Structure 1
């Protein structure tokens, strides 16, 4: 047990501007800057737009669901805590550990990617030096204060936002022929098999790419526990997500699709593993901007570091929350005088570092570790949808009125149900062909995070004899984590 007065609580230092930018920054990353090209080459401009519009709508509904719960009970554990309180303690246990593990592994992926980006400028320096350097920097930023994380993430997200705005402006000028010479207009939308290439199967496959692109938006729920005014900042941040998704994703995909034909071999190389080729770089070059590659490389480096920064923050808060709920050792309840759960952060860093060094020692081990965390984001989204559905039903059944809620989720119950269905479609649709050919190794690599989640769930359920909490017993009263005692919700 920790020994200072700040234990069992983290400081509320994140301002509205921090949460708004974190919500936006979490959804702008290599998925937009790099992988968006492969989406267009796979399903054509029309198919890519449909996939991103559908997934964008789903993410918006999920965020409004999370916003309703987060304003009612702002906690650092967010959806894992909501799963515990509104559904079943076993679900909260599985959600929390799965999410922590995901971000700890993703941290290793991010620092490895950062090293690849640095090789663009300094190819002769060993990659591990860059990876270790980035890990140390990210650790120190998060170890200082909550505000240090918020400010760093704010400015890194700002760089990404400015880049997208400049890209959209240059793109529009290029489409009309004001820059880059030839006006493309909408000609690439009717080029060869466009706008829809590969039919419904191709469009559905792009749902997966779009879904991964939007992962990270749920971070706004985790930051709720450290917001100064969650009842104001969370709704504002979430309400802005819709318009930002529309502007920064849908419009960006439209611009890329207008300027670059889906048959371009450069788009085929646009994958998360090939950060040297970005559709943004291609569009800037098309407009005649010679330094485009170097500038975009710097932006992608910022994006990767932002992802690592957010990952460190999210995972340490999740482990801290797990310890408060009794799902992790009490050792991790300790916070520094600045409200930072340092022990949880150290544990996360160690796991991330071990994963990184495993990638150096044996690629096979690394592949399996990454596979084990691959679908965790979608599993978290499923948990958010189920928790919100149960929360609202319990809220009404216990005699409360919707007007009592500080923030109302849009289109309930359509929102969470639609999000639940789409998430399941995306999870199942990761690689359906592997089932046709019964490629068991491929199936395991693709879907490993699902059985791991199920094992965690039933382990806790069987050991503690938990049950689905009846609606009239669900705790829907508004309160904050540091004002409430930790209750034993097991049988």
Structure 2
């Protein structure tokens, strides 16, 4: 299903970190045998890849919005939900890792779905995933302006948005190594911030604070906080406890992501057979550790029913004013640290936007390689940057200027609700691609020992992650169906993706007459793999 153009100018990624991939896509019925060349370069080093996921996943959600599920479910439900969802992410990571290390191509998982399941599903997944990243980008620019207001509201929103967009353009237009280097240091700042907050929590809970209060796990006890450590939400008794846990689990699904960002960069990674396994192993452990420890920390620093915390959920404060960490500092009369946290969170938000910019352009690039987006989007500069795909991301970043008007902000919120579960749906389709990948190997008599990277509990991990992801997509806004909670607008924009996805899938299938790829016809990108073997 894929051929390599053997050209004297093409060097193996194993021998050259700046090699160019040359690919001919050949779904003849879809592409009309058109030649599409992958001109990206393998310039991302192992340290760049390892921190890439952190750049897009650790931001305001972990530092600020984590207070919302804390108020809904209490510290115990928050911790249990985060631990449970980390097992889903680990299972999802196992699926991606096996396929990507075996076939480290550009925009891999979108193309895996195309070749292992159905070209129509690849088209559907690619576009909904792209839109998720493209709309997340302007939201990070909006978040940057909100975080900045912690200090001042004198800086014009339009001017700051323009400055951010220019910075993203510079980092993404020049060469991928500039993006990788910038993201490495920005993500390192997030790691330092998270480790610092974890250390801060430990020291203040044992009494190293201005009040000399050795509060320990006081806020996990019902003797100190009524109802702790499990909070009631939308009801009382067992029903209230169930809704509290469900709210925390849904928030965990929206907050904890990551391995797919690592996979996107596989086609631009140096020596991917060595780089990618290390990245998958360290990234998922690092993310799980940060999120699980983060859940413990916020539940330890602030009681779930703290009036200021509850009020901040209803009426968000500028900057990190709504962060449970900052509220914990205020309770302990600590005045300097909140400013340091705000500064580091500001850099985290910039980093997240930078990652969305990169990921969105590579998704478009992968769609173009498979003939599911205009061929122009597959064109790269001499430095291996998909120039026109990057231009499209620039256009989406301009949506950030809508925040200057109240009506524009409302539209942005609608877009966020519409696409917030799209990324989860796309990950479920990736698990489906792995299930087909696993079955095809077994049917064709290919032993798993041929895989350069193997994970445990397969294919159980794939089924487990796929089911969990699909369940979250359908119950994402289940509270709308409870008595007195119905909202038509929220329903339309929360579940609109379940209408958009089938339209994209069946529309493409009808137009191109595609069929589910028979297991015996799956070729595992045989020729492309030769470039890295």
Give the TM-score normalised by the residue count of structure 2: 0.85
1:201 lines up with 2:243 in the alignment: yes
Moved more, 355-364 or 284-293: 355-364
| Contact 1:188–1:194 (8 Å) recurs in 2 | yes
Tell me by how many angstroms 1:363 deviates.
3.7
Preserved CA contact (<8 Å) 1:359 1:366: no
* Aligned position for 1:306: 351
- Residue number in structure 2 paired with 1:212: 254
Report if aligned partners of 1:30, 1:213 keep a CA contact under 8 Å in 2: no
Cα deviation, residue 48, structure 1: 0.2
Comparing 16-25 with 335-344, greater Cα deviation is found at 16-25
Task: Decide which of 148, 151, 154 is 2:181's aligned counterpart.
Answer: 151
Q: 2:502 pairs with 454, 468, 473, which one? A: 454
Deviations 1:392-426 (A, max 9, x none): 11111111111110111331122111111211222
* 8 Å CA contact retained: 1:372, 1:452: no
Structure-2 change in CA distance of 1:367 and 1:253 (3 Å): closer
Number of residue pairs the alignment of both structures matches:
481
- The separation in 2 between residues aligned to 1:410 and 1:351, in whole angstroms, is 40
Cα deviation for residue 355 of structure 1 reads 5.9
Distance 2:44 2:355 in 1: 14
| Residue 243 (structure 1) aligned with residue 285 (structure 2) | yes
The answer as to whether partners of 2:56 and 2:352 remain within 8 angstroms in 1 is yes
Q: 1:253-292 residue pairs with structure 2 within 5 A?
A: 253-268=295-310, 269-270=312-313, 274=317, 275=319, 276-286=321-331, 288-292=333-337
SS of residue in 2 equivalent to 1:403: helix
Provide Cα deviations, 1:181-207, integer angstroms capped at 9, x if missing partner: 111122211231111112122111111
Residue 12 of structure 1 deviates from its aligned partner by: 0.5
Q: Deviations over 1:129-155 (max 9, x none)?
A: 111111111111011111111111111
Which residue pairs with 2:512 in the alignment?
464
- Measure the CA separation in 1 of the matches of 2:285 and 2:413: 36
Counterparts in 2 of 1:19-30, with a 5 A limit?
19-30=49-60
For the 8 Å contact 2:57–2:352, the answer to whether it is kept is no
In structure 1, the residue matched to 2:115 is: 85
Tell me the residue number matched to 2:38.
8
CA 1:355–1:23: 2 relative to 1, 3 Å? closer
Q: Which whole-Å CA distance do the structure 2 matches of 1:388 and 1:272 have between them?
A: 43
The 3 A distance-change label for structure 1 pair 291 and 217 is farther
Change (3 A) 1:427 1:27: same
1:332 & 1:61 partners in 2: Cα distance? 32
Per-residue CA deviation, residues 352-378 of structure 1 (Å, 9 max, x unaligned), is: 314643873634433333233221210
**Structure-2 separation of matches of 1:243 and 1:50:** 17
What is the rounded CA distance, in whole Å, between the counterparts of 2:339 and 2:298 in structure 1?
Answer: 19
CA distance in 2, matches of 1:435, 1:355: 32
Contact 1:40 1:262 in 2 (8 A): yes
SS at match of 1:480: helix
Judge which range, 346-355 or 309-318, deviates more.
Answer: 346-355
SS in 2 for 1:387: helix
CA distance in 2, matches of 1:33, 1:358: 22
The equivalent position to 2:465 in structure 1, one of 410, 414, 419, is 419
Unaligned residue ranges in structure 1 (runs of 5+) = 485-491
Task: Indicate yes or no: 2:521 matched with 1:473.
Answer: yes
CA 1:233 to 1:271, structure 2 compared with 1: closer, same or farther past 3 Å? farther
Stretch of structure 1 that moved more, 342-351 or 409-418: 409-418
Out of 432, 441, 454, which is 1:386 matched to? 432
| 2:390 aligned residue | 345
Aligned counterparts of 1:231 and 1:375: Cα–Cα separation in 2? 32
Structure with higher Rg: it is 2
Match of 1:488 in 2: none
Partner Cα separation in structure 1 for residue 370 and residue 410 of structure 2: 35
Cα 1:304/1:454, change in 2 over 3 Å: same
* Other-structure match for 1:183: 214
